Amino acid sequence: MAPARPHARPRAGARPGRRGLGAAAGAAAGAAAAAAAAAWGPAARRRRGGPRRGRRARRARGAGAGRAGAPRRRRGPLCRAVARAAQARAAERGRGEAVGACSERRGAAAGREVSLVAVSKTKSAEAIGAAHAAGQVVFGENYVQELLGKAPLVPAAVRWHFIGKLQSNKVRALLAGVPNLVAVETVSSVKLADKLAAAAQELGWGVDGVEPLGAYVQVDTSGEASKNGVPPEEAPALAAHVARACAGGLRLRGLMTIGAPGDPGAFDRLARAREAVSRELGVQPGTLELSMGMSGDFEEAIQRGSTSVRVGSLIFGARQPRAPAA
Ligand SMILES: *Cc1c(COP(=O)(O)O)cnc(C)c1O
């Protein structure tokens, strides 16, 4: 199949989106995504001031892994955004505010800024839109099909993190159907990293001034067979592979862990894994993010070094149990 090169012309406002939702991707993405692609592709994103526009976007987001200085994020807007997002739903009033305020307070106490990925799985596009209207920009989803369905329905300026188990055979559909994907947090094998890097480059990430796709190496810090991720001792090798061999399409942003409930030691193990990774790469640990902490433990995670918390139910309310996968 001829590679789609939607980002070949980075000139803003030049022409409508030309991302080819190729046959495979189109089928997987479904009719909604295909219909939305023209109005919503990368060129449209550039027109609207979407998220992946090279240096300027990078600066706005702060220096990332491998660049000078520690990752920097804005602090105040996080709090206000989450607060307003919560207020968008009277029933949830106060929740988001608590998350934002706590994140900022803890982060400030630790001399760090902490970013928030609002985990919107099982929640409607309307709920995401309300949170976005209130200022939250980064959202996380953990099922490919669910994200493919929702992505075209939310504002184009939303930036997505994929935070779920990702099978190599779904990589292309994910990237083709979600042009505003900015990071995959669940890179747990060389094979997956290679697939992501190839698809990212083919579809325009890391090409012609467009940001590479962010990648986090997922680490299994609790030694649970059910958890995904590499054991901590394998993190340096995988991170080095992502940072070097995959550099064309991916940018290593840091490490991610879920951690067993009630095991805050998992956060310390991720922080130690980052030390090892930074030695392997010859960079300062602070240039690598630590994505850890959810609704139940984000404060603990921040105290133990988190730079990015992934919070869902505390913001959007409890989730209904998911229907069994088909
Ligand atoms: C669902 C999910 C979250 C958010 O969980 P909450 O307890 O709702 O905050 C965070 N990270 C991952 C990987 C998830 O799947």
Choose one of 163, 224, 291 to mutate for the ligand 1 pocket test, by most ligand atoms within 8 angstroms of C-beta: 163
Interatomic CA distance for residues 163 and 170, integer angstroms: 14
Mean pLDDT by runs of 10 across the 326 residues of the chain is: 36 29 27 30 38 42 36 43 44 49 60 89 95 93 98 96 97 97 98 98 93 97 81 97 97 96 93 98 97 94 95 91 62
Q: Ligand 1 center to residue 4 CA distance, Å?
A: 33
φ, ψ dihedrals at 264, nearest 5°: -65, -20
- pLDDT (0 to 100) of residue 262: 87
Q: How far apart are CA 264 and CA 306, in angstroms?
A: 12
CA of 313 relative to ligand 1 center, distance in Å: 8
Tokens 């070094």 -> residue: 305
- Cα dihedral 244→221→173→152 (10° resolution): -110
Of 19, 10, 17, nearest in space to 53 by CA: 10
Ligand 1 midpoint to CA 296 (Å): 9
- DSSP assigned state of 226: T
Atom of ligand 1 nearest to the CA of 163: 13
Write phi, then psi, for 174 (nearest 5 degrees).
-60, -50
- What are the pLDDT digits (tens) for 38-95? 333 343 334 333 334 444 444 433 333 333 333 334 334 444 444 444 444 433 434 5
Ligand 1 pocket at CB < 6 A? 119, 121, 142, 163-164, 258, 294-296, 310-314
pLDDT, position 32: 28
- Residue 9's H or E segment, with its range, is none
- Which residue's entry shows tokens 């919107």? 120
What is the whole-number distance in angstroms between the Cα of residue 167 and the centre of ligand 1?
Answer: 19
User: So what's the pLDDT on residue 53?
Assistant: 43
In tens, the pLDDT along 116-127 reads 999 999 999 999
According to the model, what pLDDT value does residue 320 have?
82
Give residue 261 CA to ligand 1 midpoint distance, Å: 12
pTM over 0.85: no
How far is the C-alpha of 287 from the C-alpha of 123, rounded, in Å?
Answer: 32
